[in-house]
Amino acid sequence: MSAKLSEAAEPFCLPNIPDEKCIVFIGMAGAGKTTVGRLVARSLDWAFADSDHIIEAAYGAPLQDITDALGKEAFIDLEAEIVSGLRFQRTVIATGGSVIYRQSTMEHLASLGPILYLDVPMKTILERIARNPDRGLAIAPGQTVEDLFRERETLYRRYADVIVDTAGIGAGESVRRALEALASL
């Protein structure tokens, strides 16, 4: 068990998810999908994949460069094509924040396993994006991060099997809450 997992105040139950399935994390950029997802994968002894990194590897460029070159809608179509082609098992998948714009992509992800939404307050998202402005964000010209947050929040909630509120807590507690929520499915 990692040091971050041991930060959790109480013991947690591991989810009873078949090995042929995955766990899919969704949420805004800066929500902690990669950090928490990687720790959940480690605790389950599963593989971990980040769809943003898969896109970067396919195109040999940083995500923000790809997004900037394509524009928001074309990037979302590209993301949908790549994510819809994922055929993983026993893997925790951290998705890009814009994956929720294509219903067919979300249906594919749901077929892989439960979808967990990391619910983080807008203030925290803004702080995290400000610390890492090159993280890659599918945003239209003139659109703000606040606009994006409001636009996406309903979609995240619609597609989530589990919603984990991570306001004001660290990675270890987020992992504990995620595993508890998944164990309750």
Q: Considering only CA atoms, which of 115, 119, 97, 118 is closest in space to residue 182?
A: 115
Q: Considering only CA atoms, which of 147, 172, 174, 149 is closest in space to residue 163?
A: 174
Q: Is the pLDDT at 7 greater than 80, yes or no?
A: no
Residue 9 falls inside a structural domain:
no
Residue 165 falls inside a structural domain:
yes
Count of domains observed in the chain: 1
pLDDT on residue 147 = 95
Residue 45 Cα distances to 14, 21, 56, 67, angstroms: 11, 14, 25, 32
Which contiguous run of DSSP H or E holds residue 141? none
pLDDT on residue 179 = 95
Token output for 76: 């979302």
Domain span including residue 20: 15-183
Residue 7 falls inside a structural domain:
no
- The gap from C-alpha 117 to its chain's centroid, in whole angstroms, comes to 7
What global pTM score does this model have? 0.91
Token output for 83: 């994510």
CATH number, position 127: 3.40.50.300
Task: Provide the pLDDT confidence category of residue 15 given band limits of 50, 70 and 90.
Answer: confident
Mean of the per-residue pLDDT values for the chain?
91
State the DSSP string of 122-156. HHHHHHHHHH-TTS-----TT--HHHHHHHHHHHH
Residue 2 falls inside a structural domain:
no
> What is the tens place of the pLDDT at every residue in 164-174?
999 999 999 99
Task: Provide the pLDDT confidence category of residue 97 given band limits of 50, 70 and 90.
Answer: very high
> What is the tens place of the pLDDT at every residue in 16-56?
888 899 999 999 999 999 999 999 999 999 999 999 999 99
